[in-house]
Chain A
Amino acid sequence: MSAIILFLAVIAIIVGWWLSQQRLTAKPWLEEGPIDDFPGTGAMTLPAAKIGLGMFLAVAGCLFTLFISAYSMRMNMADWRALPVPKLLWFNTGVLVLSSVALQWAHLAARRNDMDGVILGLLAGGAAAVTFLVGQLLAWQQLIVAGYFVASNPANSFFYLLTAVHGLHLMGGLAALGKTTAKVWRSTEVTEVRLSVELCTIYWHFLLLVWLVLLGLLTGWTDNFIDICRHLLS
């Protein structure tokens, strides 16, 4: 459970920092009157959707970290046999990176008021993400053909489980991306869609980061790192 404790410690530091800006030592019973004397203590001025996405990323991050915690505990059991990672995953990873780059492109285009660039970036990002999902399914198929079934070993089970959860998150993102693309299609002003594009981009980068961590875990790259952490903590 060390991974999740570390993750929550980071969240706690962020929350603590934010709370420290909120005058929690104020004596509200003495402060009658308009609050404009205390700038920065009112409601957040960021758009609600952006704060909402930030919160959601914390929740999703928590979810993936818990899966990672479970993974690192289960992998120590005697029956763990690491499975060969299909080469296709490298291609998929490259596609997901491209998807993220395309959305970053769309985001920058939105800031430049370049509507065509936005549409191009969103479509390319969406297409790459769909390709990634198809690639993941093909990787599943390759493993099944090779006899690595979901229940034959916990390493296999985790592989299918983690890729499925990540894929579902990406599918949710694709729904939002589809909605954003439709919005971009209809609107003439880039300012109307800038926020939606930015939120999609942030979410894509988050999912890329999660995938890279999962890939490190599934390919065994991080085994040494986990071992070092375990030794340090015990």
Chain B
Amino acid sequence: MVDIPYEAIADVPPAEVPDVELYHPKSWVTKYVFSQDAKVIAVQYALTASAIGLVALVLSWMMRLQLGFPGTFSFIDPNQYLQFITMHGMIMVIFLLTALFLGGFGNYLIPLMVGARDMVFPYVNMLSYWVYLLAVLVLGSSFFAPGGPTGAGWTLYPPQAILSGTPGGRDWGIILMLVSLILFIIGFTMGGLNYVVTVLQARTRGMTLMRLPLTVWGIFTATIMALLAFPALFVASVMMLFDRALGTSFFMPTLIEMGSLSKYGGGSPLLFQHLFWFFGHPEVYIVALPAFGIVSDLISTHARKNIFGYRMMVWAIVAIGALSFVVWAHHMYVSGMYPYFGFFFATTTLIIAIPTAIKVYNWVLTLWRGDIHLTVPMLFALGFIITFVNGGLTGLFLGNVVVDVPLSATMFVVAHFHMVMGVAPILVVLGAIYHWYPKVTGRMLNEVLGKFHFWVTFLGAYMIFFPMHYLGLLGIPRRYYALGDAAFIPPSAHTLNAFISVVALTVGVAQMVFLFNLVWSLFRGKPSGGNPWRATTLEWQTPETPPGHGNWGKDLPVVYRWAYDYSVPGAKEDFIPQNQPPVPRGAHGAGP
């Protein structure tokens, strides 16, 4: 760290209050229910996403019960199994992870971290949540609809998604799913415009882009990606809804259904796949980039060291965001394509490993010789790095056409994407909750319960998904209700499946400990004070904890430095908040 002496630094005036028109709630309902305060909306998003996420967790238990102990549980039939797969996948990817990272963390952290009073369009922000809630309710209602939810698989591939052989195909299931997705995208767009414009326009004085915490960079870039990628899912959903409800043939080829020629003809299932994956692959990074950003901040704070290679981290986030739009067809190798396209998409897929690897190196180099505090958030962040590397490496396998083709329909793929897109981001979500819970509630989460939660979740996840790679290499197919007596499947595979199921249920129960911790600590947790982690970023410098309406009292903060001034040589403390004015040269004592 080099001190640059400034003269007349004390003369920088804070931005005065009437810089934005804040909506002031007049009743309990407008304060906590139809709230326009981003912090309340964030909690609403987080609670709704977690609630529907728990449903998806229970669905995964059902699948594991069937896979581990086939035929034992009579209440799981083949159709239900397909419905569980579909709903588990869609809920986890979109209604939990996307909503939680962008709607939850985005809403809470962006205004606080950039030094704004709120989002720039609070009313639209409120609408965003309520449309999201409606989307969740529509999706949830499909469990009670005639025929149950759709069992088309989370990718909803036509033609099977809307045919009578698929659960929910000719009933309400697929319709409710598509309507729910359309609503989600409308709601997200309302929120997403808020997140982006707030970062662009409402940053406080001194908060340049290069002084933004990486959390904001991650959420900001992911939101831009989501705004541009979700329309593809919107288009695919609307067109499929037309196919299902109005009998058009956008995606539906000529086929014989239940012995007779269907009314459809001439459509292209591949067209749907292109649209779906044009959204679907950026979606991986829409979830991953906020996780990258958050984990950077957790590591820097809890290792008491500035993030290594900040500029490179920013560039890598932007590069990953851009590259992720030109890799979508690697999900379609088995659908068949012109060989040069396969070559192109394999190349772009492998290139994306470069900025990703830069990030991993930089996290490790941030830890190098840091003052590592093994707090619960830090444990989760470390768990993320290892898991992401694991999942990323198997992604390199699958990015190659010749490796992907034989493995594509096996449990190897399930293991890969659960490591990289399931476990890794969830570890960050959990770490982030342990990290920011004190700011949201003013109380610390219980650390003993937290460490128990971490170790069971982390080790459990590996016991679940590591063996799954092996099962995949054996050729065990995914999506199957029962494996039958195929000769290539050894008895040990069945034993392994039973083991995975037992661990999955155990890890699931450990999450109940976490839920208990969340509720118990809300009332009995140790008071945290304003800045329990001694962090530099603005959200920890609010005059009140939890932050009050408008976040900052009378004056907005002024930012004088980047977000990572930890362990600055010569400084009194091992952190310097972003809003602390610099002292003239020499006042630190001995400089570097």
Contacts and interface: CB of A to CB of B under 8 A. Distances in A.
Nearest to B116: A43
A44 B234 CA distance: 30
B238 A44 contact: no
B197 A51 contact: yes
Interface string A60-94: 00110011001001100111100000000000000
Contacts of B202: 43, 48
Interface in B210-268: 210-211, 224, 227-228, 231-232, 234-235, 238-239, 242, 246-250, 263, 265-268
Interface string B173-205: 000000000000000010001001100111111
B322 interface: yes
A33 B209 contact: no
Nearest to B119: A48
Interface of A: 1, 4-5, 8, 11-12, 15, 19, 22-36, 38, 41-44, 46, 48-49, 51-52, 55-56, 58-59, 62-63, 66-67, 70, 73-74, 77-80, 150-151, 154, 157, 161, 165
Given A154-B249, A157-B248, A79 B266 contact: yes
Contacts of B318: 19
A30 B2 contact: yes
Contacts of A22: 208-210
Nearest to A41: B208
Nearest to A33: B6
A48 B120 contact: yes
Most chain B beta-carbon neighbours within 10 Å: one of A28, A41, A56, A70:
A28
Given A58-B228, A151-B249, A157-B242, A66 B560 contact: no
B558 A28 contact: no
Interface stretch (B306-314, B386-394, B493-501): B306-314
Contacts of B250: 70, 74, 154, 157
A43 B205 CA distance: 8
B208 A42 contact: yes
A151 B200 contact: no
Contact of B3 (A5, A32, A38, A49): A32
B131 interface: no
Contacts of A62: 227-228, 231
A73 B238 contact: no
Contact of B208 (A23, A48, A165): A23
Contacts of B529: none
Contacts of A42: 203, 205-208
15 contacts: A22-B208, A22-B210, A23-B208, A26-B210, A30-B2, A30-B4, A32-B561, A32-B582, A33-B6, A35-B559, A52-B121, A59-B227, A62-B228, A70-B239, A165-B238
Interface in B241-300: 242, 246-250, 263, 265-268, 271, 274-275, 278
Contacts of A48: 120-121, 197, 201-202
Interface in B291-347: 306, 310-311, 314-315, 318, 322, 325-326
Contacts of A51: 197, 200-201
Contact of B315 (A24, A66, A80): A24
Nearest to B307: A29
B564 interface: yes
B6 A66 contact: no
Most chain B beta-carbon neighbours within 10 Å: one of A8, A52, A73, A80:
A52
Given A8-B325, A59-B228, 6 more contacts: A1-B274, A11-B228, A29-B562, A42-B208, A43-B200, A52-B121
B459 interface: no
B242 A33 contact: no
B47 interface: no
Given A8-B325, A55-B227, A70-B271, A29 B1 contact: yes
Contact of B267 (A1, A11, A26, A77): A77
